[in-house]
Amino acid sequence: MRMKIRNKIILSTALVVSFSLIVSGFFIYDYARGIIREQSIRDSRTKLAQISFQLNKVQEQVMKTAEYIVSDEEITELVYARAGPDIETEYFRKQAVQDKLGRFVALNNFILNVLIVRPDGGTFSNYSGYEDYFAEYVKQDWFVKMKDSRRNYSEPHPFFFISGNRQVFSYVLQYRPIGQQTSADSYLVLDIAYSELSNVFLQSSRDFEQIELFTGANALLYSTGKELQPSDEESMKEALRSGQSFREDADRIVLTDETMNQDWKQAALLSKSRLFEKINRIFYFYIVIILSGIAVTLVVMLPIIVNLTKPLIRLTNAMKRVAVGDLGTSVAIRSGDELEILGAGFNRMVEDLRHLVDTSIRNEETKRKMQIDLLMAQINPHFVYNTLNTVIYLSHANRNGQVVEVTQALIGILQDTIKTGEGAVRASLAEEKQIVDKYAVIQQTRYPGRFRLIWELEDALLGQPVPRMAMQPIVENAIVHGIIPSDREEGKIIVRAYRDDAQMCLEVEDNGRGMDTSDSEESNLPKSTDRTRGIGLSNIRDRLYTDFGAAARLEVSSEKDVGTVVRIRIPLAGPVNESS
């Protein structure tokens, strides 16, 4: 009993893959999950520590700046000096404070503004002209809260900076100036750009579902702003309330860090689903298991694969040979399955295709020969009809000598046109010239003195083959429809043959009456609309297309009362003998 190839592949693959996946999956899942979890927690703690370190640096720089400003005697003297006797003195005093405070701002690019608030409500800043704004600024809720709090950092709030509002958070220091006899407190406010916090969290925030930063007063100072599920928010709050540095459940891990100054705290949320989706590499232990599975798979499947691929390769190569035209190809497949049936069907298809192509070629050759014979049969009666009319005319005129001359010329032409085989289709240019000369004798007998036939042929082209009886109908048209109806006493018919690149041009030019522009033709194998000329030109057109296809052209150009040029373009049959 033959086993189908599909069943072979399915059965073998199912056994091997099932064994490999069950064994490797059981051991790897638990092991890899634990490794990734521990590594992720360590990496996350390291990132939180780095964030804390950067935030501590910012805090330390802010506190040092505040200490320098508070301890600067010149600033203290200028701020708490008595009001000047005039507006100008007061202006220059504020300008001096502004310059000194501006230096501290210049040294710390994250500090946007330094503001000193005296006990009497007077304000001094590194910006001039903002006295009214700062008078309202210190009445805002965030500053009022800070006056009653012993914490130094405020919650985020807007600050009008140069051309628009900026988000800032402020460091507020309550102090009494050294050397000044005052019982009331002054306030130093350092407005810090909120973007400084964003920069600190920028890189690390991508590794967490959420990171939140809280001040010592448990006010939210920064958040990555992602929308969380209520269960995630509750888990983060619980970790902060309990003071746990690590909290884990089935869906998430929460890490906290409280190593920053001013009792700042941060909490980070890791989603387990996202954590285990990010596995980008296969660990060595997993690789060993998979390689073992692959080795087993190859051992079992290799003989099957070889047996399957050999017939397929032979069949593919045979199809390629058939595609390039080798219809004698056949394949021998003895696999005892569907491939053997496929090979036998392929052989039958190629054999049928070969017979079909041979039959088609024979039919096309027969069709082409019949078309040529039909076209030649159309020319000969047409020419004989016109010539016999001429003989009748001469007989009526008792011009017996000319009757003999014309009849001999006609016999010579008919002897040349009754050839068989390839000679009935093609003739050399020299043979075609003889036919036209004999025809000219007949027409000169009928129309004595009315035209001259002039030959301008390249001698090297006399041996080139041309369609038989192609030039005679054109010369006939030139005489009958061009020269004779015109008023010229003596017409000229010039027959030319010359080369044009890889083509040979046969040209018949007359100076007869010509045609209107609308009647002239100049195209690739045009169809004539003139019934009196149509038999000859249409016949030539069809013969050219049958022999040469699109490589040949029949061009007709004419001008009324000037003449007509008929040109045949055909490919050169071979190299031209220049010495002939």
Q: Each residue of 82-119: pLDDT tens digit?
A: 776 777 888 888 889 889 988 988 888 889 999 999 88
pLDDT at residue 3, rounded to an integer: 65
Percent of the chain with pLDDT over 70: 85
pLDDT at residue 520, rounded to an integer: 42
User: Angle CA(189)–CA(191)–CA(195) in degrees, nearest 5?
Assistant: 160
CA 300, CA 321: separation in Å to the nearest integer? Answer: 34
CA 134, CA 131: separation in Å to the nearest integer? Answer: 5
pTM of the predicted model, to two decimals?
0.48
> Which DSSP state fits 203?
T
CA 290, CA 17: separation in Å to the nearest integer? Answer: 10
Average pLDDT, the chain: 81
pLDDT in tens, 141-192: 889 888 877 678 888 999 987 777 889 999 999 888 877 777 788 899 999 9
Q: Is pLDDT at 317 greater than 60 in this prediction? A: yes
pLDDT at residue 442, rounded to an integer: 83
Mean pLDDT of 216-226: 82
CA 546, CA 525: separation in Å to the nearest integer? Answer: 11
CA 24, CA 550: separation in Å to the nearest integer? Answer: 69
CA-nearest of 70, 182, 69, 179 to 120 is 182
Q: Is pLDDT at 370 greater than 50 in this prediction? A: yes
pLDDT at residue 579, rounded to an integer: 53
pLDDT in tens, 3-23: 665 566 666 776 777 777 677
pLDDT at residue 570, rounded to an integer: 92
Contacts of 535 (CB under 8 A, 6+ apart): 378, 382, 473
Helix%, strand%, coil% for the chain, nearest 5: 55, 20, 25
Q: Is pLDDT at 535 greater than 60 in this prediction? A: no
Q: How confident is the model at residue 423 (pLDDT cuts 50, 70, 90)?
A: low
Most confident of 133-142, 296-305, 310-319, 339-348: 133-142
> Which DSSP state fits 527?
P
Element counts in the chain: helices (H) and strands (E): 14, 17
CA-nearest of 452, 43, 70 to 270 is 43
Domains defined along the chain, listed by start: 72-199 (3.30.450.20), 379-571 (3.30.565.10)
CA 20, CA 16: separation in Å to the nearest integer? Answer: 6
Alpha-carbon torsion 351, 356, 359, 365, what sign?
negative
Q: How confident is the model at residue 496 (pLDDT cuts 50, 70, 90)?
A: very high
Chain-centroid distance of CA 362 in Å reads 46
Q: Is pLDDT at 389 greater than 50 in this prediction? A: yes
Q: Is pLDDT at 374 greater than 60 in this prediction? A: no
Rounded CA Rg of the chain: 54
Q: Give the β-pairing of 164-175 and 451-457.
A: unpaired
Contact (Cβ atoms closer than 8 angstroms) between residue 483 and residue 512 = yes
pLDDT at residue 507, rounded to an integer: 94
CA-nearest of 105, 110, 218 to 155 is 218
Edge-to-edge strands, sheet with 265-271: 220-223, 210-214, 265-271, 252-257, 246-248
CA 455, CA 457: separation in Å to the nearest integer? Answer: 6
Contacts of 494 (CB under 8 A, 6+ apart): 454, 456, 507, 508, 509, 510
SS (H, E, C) 531-563: HHHHHHHHHHHHHHHHHHHHHCEEEEEEECCCE
Contact (Cβ atoms closer than 8 angstroms) between residue 219 and residue 143 = no
Collapsing DSSP to helix, strand or coil, 209 comes out as: coil
pLDDT at residue 200, rounded to an integer: 87
